[in-house]
């Protein structure tokens, strides 16, 4: 039997495998991932760091994979986990398309999925989630189209817009989703503008960055939204149209364009303002939520955390869950950057190694504390803050659970 | 409309060399690159419609491209329900798009239905 099984070969899963395999316990570790290539969604990431260097997800992922392989980790791709079951107190059995896997400890590092915002016409070929366009562009290196419209404005959308532009793909506009029961605040210009300010420091245009730093007061924000130009402000040479909403995606066998309309600062359509925007692809950007079904199947308790993208499995700062021998790391614990996921993976891997030693290793206990501090440091230094309240929420959640879960040998 | 590959990327550089793979999609011979997904091969060849909704006949293509949404399912060498975005192309693969299915029970009013459940 394996000492540990890790579901997900993304930044968190690979980093956990490296930490556990390198712990000196001689742990036998298998990592499963259903994508044909290891790296998870880190593979598609490509952005410039504040110091001007490029964060190239393909490179980062292959470095993690090489380190894991060097430490003897067994990485299996193309394996989909379909179910799991606790083996009494002995560990876990996991069902996959490649048969059963058993292990003494199980780490779920399944990452996040994209929230969809249904828009009339969204089932047409050529309409895709913005993450789909990212993977096609940066990982598969295939053009998703010639001229696109992005529906939805959030941190993920803006990061991927810059990546599409880098690959030479033209974007006609970034507009808001239509106001409906599912779009929520994503179709409200005032709310969207407020959230845009949080990552305005990433903008390529110094005027945007400077302007954003001046418009903190909410009355001023409302004034800016009220006076926002209908044609939008250009970012990465693409009009960011805060006061326009998509009404319908149009096409016969694939996307031919999008019907858009002007909207009031609170998101209501202005009658008679409708226009047709030609496009051959559309990206829907609804944001991310933790992909946590396997934790639910395992029977792990959950907690609702809107700051972290939705329902997350209850866990301690040590990445232990209340269930014996079950751990979580990465975006399954809340949507944050890949760097935070890597740091969380190191915590989970070290916690598994410590628990594997029966909790006896002083060196591993000290290493676990260091790894936990490192997560907080990486979170504070993150270029992209997915939500302003993440740190406060996590502190409170970990505090409420007390010290039992954090220090319990799992 | 032109699709195709991103041959030269300002940061990622040249498209890595990979052997050509020949596949058949709905009777049409196509070339893909080793290591890429069926969805990527089809899109690079300008094909976006991967199936129709089984009941309404509406066209469908990729949506999430990472295996979550199941919108891109095709048949591969006789096996149905294969996700085009998650399955690498292999030499000689025969891929078929999903078709509209017969719905014999669709319009049977409840009063005329027989049997349990």
Q: Would you say residue A391 has pLDDT above 80?
A: yes
Q: Which two tokens stand for residue A221?
A: 């924000």
> In B, residues 8-47, which contact A (CB 8 Å cutoff)?
9-12, 15, 35-37, 39-40, 43-44
Domain assignment present for B78? yes
Residue A214: is its pLDDT beyond 80? Answer: no
Tokens of A56: 């190239």
The whole domain housing B40 covers 18-96
Q: Is residue B89 part of a domain?
A: yes
- Residues A153-157, mean pLDDT to the nearest whole number: 90
How large is the ipTM? Answer: 0.92
Q: Is residue B37 part of a domain?
A: yes
Contact B9 A114 (CB under 8 A): no
Residue B71 lies in a domain: yes
Q: Is residue B26 included in any domain, yes or no? A: yes
Question: Alpha carbon B91 to chain centroid distance?
Answer: 16
Helices then strands, each counted (H, E), chain A: 12, 21
Angstroms from B117 CA to nearest CA on chain A: 27
Torsion of the alpha carbons at B86, B91, B92 and B94, rounded to the nearest 10: 10
The CATH number for B36's domain is 3.10.20.440
- Residue A9: strand pairing partners: none
CA dist A141 and A145 (Å) reads 12
Tell me the domains of chain A and their CATH numbers. 2-112+289-409 (3.50.50.60), 117-285 (3.50.50.60)
With beta carbons less than 8 A apart as the criterion, state whether A392 and A400 touch. Answer: no
pLDDT of residue A195: 83
Report the C-alpha gap between A112 and A289 in whole angstroms.
5
- Residue percentage of chain A with pLDDT more than 90: 73
Burial class (CB in 10 A: 0-12, 13-18, 19+), A141: buried
Domain membership of residue B27 (yes or no) is yes
Q: Which residue of A135, A166, A168 is in closest CB contact with B65?
A: A135
* CA distance linking residue A117 with residue A343, whole number of Å: 31
CA distances from B114 to A65, B52, B102, B106, B117 (A): 58, 30, 20, 14, 10
Domain count, chain B: 1
Q: Average the pLDDT over B5-17 and give the result.
A: 95
For residue B40, tell me if it sits in a domain: yes
- Contact of A112 with A137, CB cutoff 8 Å: no
Q: Are A319 and A295 in contact (CB under 8 A)?
A: no
Rounded mean pLDDT of chain A? 92
Structural domain contains residue B60: yes
Q: Which residue of B has its CA nearest to A135?
A: B65
Give the residue from chain A lying closest to B33, CA to CA: A140
- The mean pLDDT of A311-324, rounded to a whole number, is 95
pLDDT classification of B1: cutoffs 50, 70, 90:
very low
A209: left (phi over 0), alpha (psi -120 to 50) or beta: alpha
pLDDT, one tens digit per residue, over A18-42 is 999 999 889 999 999 999 999 999 9
Residue B68: what pLDDT?
Answer: 94
CA dihedral sign, ordered A316, A318, A323, A328: positive
How far A205 CA lies from chain B's nearest CA (Å)?
A: 19
Q: Do A34 and B62 touch (CB under 8 A)?
A: no
């Amino acid at each position: 039997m394996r000492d540990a099984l890790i579901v997900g070969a993304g930044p968190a899963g690979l980093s956990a495998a490296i930490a556990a395999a390198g712990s000196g316990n001689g742990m036998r570790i298998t990592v499963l991932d259903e994508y044909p290539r290891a790296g998870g969604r880190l593979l598609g990431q490509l952005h410039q760091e504040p110091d001007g260097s490029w964060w190239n997800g393909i490179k980062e992922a292959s470095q993690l994979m090489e380190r894991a392989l060097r430490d003897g980790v067994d990485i299996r791709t193309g394996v989909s986990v379909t179910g799991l079951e606790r083996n009494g107190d002995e560990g876990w059995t996991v069902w996959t398309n490649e048969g059963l896997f058993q292990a003494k400890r199980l780490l779920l590092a399944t990452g996040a999925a994209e929230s969809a915002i249904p828009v009339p016409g969204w089932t047409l070929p050529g309409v895709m989630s913005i993450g789909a366009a990212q993977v096609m562009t940066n990982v598969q290196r295939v053009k998703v189209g010639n001229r696109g419209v992005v529906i939805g404005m959030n941190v993920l959308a803006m990061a991927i817009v810059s990546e599409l532009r880098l690959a030479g793909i033209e974007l006609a506009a970034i507009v808001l989703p239509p106001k409906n029961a599912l779009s929520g605040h994503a179709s409200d210009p005032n709310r969207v503008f407020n959230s845009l300010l949080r990552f305005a420091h990433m903008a390529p245009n110094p005027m945007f960055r400077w302007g954003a730093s001046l418009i903190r007061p909410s009355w001023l924000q409302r004034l800016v939204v009220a006076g926002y130009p209908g044609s939008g402000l250009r970012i990465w040479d693409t009009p960011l149209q805060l006061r326009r909403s998509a009404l319908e995606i149009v096409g016969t066998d694939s996307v031919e364009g999008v019907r858009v309309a002007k909207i009031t600062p609170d998101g209501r359509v202005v009658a008679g303002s409708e226009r047709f925007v030609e496009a051959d692809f559309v990206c829907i950007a609804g944001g991310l939520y933790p992909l946590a079904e396997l934790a639910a199947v395992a029977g792990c308790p959950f907690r609702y955390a809107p700051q972290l993208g939705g329902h997350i499995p209850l866990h301690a700062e040590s990445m232990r869950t209340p269930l014996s021998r079950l751990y979580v790391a990465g975006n399954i614990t809340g949507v944050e950057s890949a760097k935070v996921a890597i740091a969380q993976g190191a915590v989970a891997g070290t916690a598994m190694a410590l628990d594997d030693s029966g909790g006896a290793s002083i060196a591993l206990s000290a290493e676990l504390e260091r790894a936990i501090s490192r997560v907080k440091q990486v979170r504070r230094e993150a270029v992209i803050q997915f939500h302003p309240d993440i740190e406060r929420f996590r502190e409170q959640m970990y505090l409420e659970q007390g010290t039992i879960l954090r220090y319990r040998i799992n | 409309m032109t699709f195709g590959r991103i041959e030269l990327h300002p940061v990622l550089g040249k498209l890595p060399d990979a052997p050509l793979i020949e596949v058949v999609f709905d009777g049409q011979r196509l070339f893909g690159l080793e290591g890429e997904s069926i969805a990527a091969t089809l899109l690079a060849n300008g094909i976006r419609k991967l199936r129709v909704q089984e009941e309404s006949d509406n066209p469908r293509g990729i949506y999430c491209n990472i295996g979550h949404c199941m919108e891109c399912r095709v048949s591969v060498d006789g096996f149905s329900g294969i996700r085009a975005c998650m399955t690498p192309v292999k030499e000689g693969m025969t891929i078929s798009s999903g078709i509209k299915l017969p719905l014999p029970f669709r319009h049977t009013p409840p009063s005329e239905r027989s049997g349990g459940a």
